[in-house]
Structure formats: C-alpha cells, structure tokens
Amino acid sequence: MVDNEGLEWRRSSYSGPSSCVEVAIAADRVYVRKSSDPDVRLVFSHEEWRMFVRGLADRHTDGDD
C-alpha cells in the first residue's frame, strides 16, 4: 500500500486481524506504524533499524520469548 507521502507500507505476516504492524523503508529512514492508527509513526535510521532487527533475531535464536 502506498500512502499520499509516497511511502510503500508492508504489513507484518505476524499481525492479527484487528491491529497490524506496518513498515515503510525510505531512502533515509525506516517508518513503523500500527494500521489502526496510521498517523502515529515511529521513525528509525537505517542503522537503528538494523540493530533492532538483529536484536530480535539474536533473541529468537537464544530461545528467549
């Protein structure tokens, strides 16, 4: 889905039917929002996003939930 700002939003495959997490990757930033409240966004640099995703992957491989 592309919004009026030209961001292409992708929905997480782990999201539920009523509230979904969506991510848009732009040239200079990564945006995250909840589909039920799309006007509120978290904004990350690409490095911050890589660290976040790496942390999730590390946690998953360690077996912690």
Q: What is the pTM of this model?
A: 0.77
The count of other CB atoms within 10 Å of the CB of residue 22 is 20
pLDDT of residue 38: 87
Q: Give the pair of three-digit tokens for residue 65.
A: 């939930």
pLDDT in tens, 2-42: 776 889 999 888 777 777 899 999 999 999 998 888 889 99
Domain boundaries, the chain: 10-62
